[in-house]
Amino acid sequence: MKKIIIAIDGHSSTGKSTFAKSIAAVMNYTYLDSGALYRAVTLYALEEGLTGKDGRPNVRELVNRLKDISVTFRRDPITGRNETFLNGKNVEKRIRSLDVSQSVSPVSVIPQVREFVDVQLRKWGEKKGIVMDGRDIGTAVFPQAELKIFMTAPAEIRARRRYNEMKAKGEDASFEEVLDNIRERDHLDSNRETNPLVKASDAILLDNGNMSVEEQMIWFKKLMEEKWGITLK
Ligand code: DC
């Protein structure tokens, strides 16, 4: 079968990356995390002092500095995981921290930042055979994607999952903080002017509030069988 582009969009902490990685593994495709680019740009802004005390970016300065930012991904030979590098430095862990999560929405609303990220995402998509997750992949980055899935789940369920994940990693945050952050990001993602989070009309909705990862993969394999006649192991 010819290689396609699979776009996975949806609300934050719906497990898009876990799902997209599992799909990439069964399809033998490359996985790309578009949120990691927004997070890396945000980390750059924080580290370079391009944000105010409230964590909001100084837009003009950050836009001027975009040319100095290089984000790449490398596979860790031991874990097999894709890790994010900002100007040559491994920032995979750092970009997932709460301070970056709290500052990423105001950075990702800046149209020039979106353009900067989109140019790179489209380059990676040229060869097809990719699964990319984000907020606007099926609507703005690859509107021509052959398969689009839109993921959602109730905010409390998403916050509980994220909170458990953070606790397991030894990160310090209360459930309320995590829930507030998710609600705020939902609001900002869905209401920004440039490419807001919205389900593409041709995207298939997946509400995974009551689904395990295994159940989602069964759902996906059934979809591939029905839609494309492809049987996946
Ligand atoms: O998926 P994530 O939580 O790692 O994404 C981090 C932020 O980046 C999220 O708050 C919204 C933004 N984002 C975006 O605006 N568009 C994308 N395609 C991916 C992420």
Cα of 135 to ligand 1 centre, how many Å?
A: 6
Residues sharing a CB contact under 8 Å with residue 158, sequence separation 6 or more, in sequence order? 11, 12, 13, 14, 182
What domains, with CATH codes, occur in the chain? 5-220 (3.40.50.300)
181 lines ligand 1 (CB under 6 A): no
Cα of 74 to ligand 1 centre, how many Å?
A: 20
Alpha helix positions (H), 28-110: 34-47, 59-65, 98-108
pLDDT at site 98 = 82
Tokens (6 digits) for 22 = 């599992």
pLDDT at site 82 = 86
Q: Which atom of ligand 1 is nearest to the CA of 95?
A: 4
Pairing mode, if any, of strands 89-90 and 130-134? Answer: unpaired
pLDDT at site 135 = 95
Return d(Cα 17, Cα 41) in angstroms, integer. 19
pLDDT at site 171 = 84
Return d(Cα 140, Cα 195) in angstroms, integer. 7
186 lines ligand 1 (CB under 6 A): no
Say how far residue 47 (Cα) sits from the centre of its chain: 21
pLDDT at site 2 = 87
| Sites in the chain below the pLDDT cut of 70 | none
17 lines ligand 1 (CB under 6 A): no
Pairing mode, if any, of strands 71-75 and 82-86? Answer: antiparallel
pTM exceeding the 0.75 threshold for the entire prediction: yes
Pairing mode, if any, of strands 5-10 and 30-33? Answer: unpaired
